[in-house]
Amino acid sequence: MDAQQSGAARPVLEGPDIARALTRIAHEIVERAKGADDVVLLGIPTRGVFLAQRIAAKLDGITGGKVSVGSLDITMHRDDLRMRPPRALARTDIPADGIEGRLVILVDDVLFSGRTIRAALDAMNDIGRPRAVQLAVLVDRGHRELPIRADYVGKNLPTSLRETVRVQLAEEDGRDAVLLGVREPGPSTPGERS
């Protein structure tokens, strides 16, 4: 029985792959935005925040400037609050120069149904009106339920609904990896996007 059949997760991206994907995303941002002067990266907690910080560091190296980075808690804007156990609010940290009239790039680890991003758009309405909003994700696994598409994707990873995608980042998990597994009956584990 292979790892996929036994339910064990197998790595589809390791640390160097993730670093290359984030470097590519940073270069694509600079190309599409014609620089990064008015870019603000807002990470969606938890792992999206770490990814936003890493992309910002890469953008700083490419442009020689300082890209604004923050975090955007979406907890109270989720449409599944009644269906899941209570969760603690995460931190919203908007850069001092704000988001008004700027290009905001939302950053998340996995794009699946699109509901997290819809919640992020709602949460952003509470803090300002950007010039434009784009989306960067490390993994796009498909199965959209809403008309949402990422502008920057580290890896397209077609999956079945039975499969799970778990992102691990050194800041939270002690290592960098994207793991693909098969859903086991019961609650999901932290970092899992099924």
Q: Residue 181 domain-assigned?
A: no
Task: Give the whole-angstrom CA distance, residue 45 versus residue 188.
Answer: 17
Q: Residue 150 domain-assigned?
A: yes
pLDDT band at 79 (very low <50, low <70, confident <90, very high): confident
Q: Residue 29 domain-assigned?
A: yes
Percent of the chain scored above 70 by pLDDT? 87
Give the model confidence (pLDDT) of 119-169 as tens digits: 999 999 999 999 999 999 999 999 999 999 999 999 999 999 999 999 999
Torsion angle, alpha carbons of 108, 114, 119, 122, to 10: 110
Residue type, 87: R
Q: Residue 88 domain-assigned?
A: yes
Mean pLDDT of the region 162-180: 97
Domain boundaries, position 26: 15-160
**Residue labelled with tokens 């979406």:** 74
CATH number assigned to the domain comprising residue 30: 3.40.50.2020
Residue type, 79: D
Give the model confidence (pLDDT) of 18-49 as tens digits: 999 999 999 999 999 999 999 999 999 999 99
Q: Residue 177 domain-assigned?
A: no
> What is the distance of C-alpha 8 from the center of its chain?
23
- pLDDT score at 37: 93
Q: Residue 3 domain-assigned?
A: no
- pLDDT score at 188: 54
- pLDDT score at 191: 53
Q: How many domains does the chain have?
A: 1
- The answer to whether 125 and 38 have CB atoms below 8 angstroms apart is no
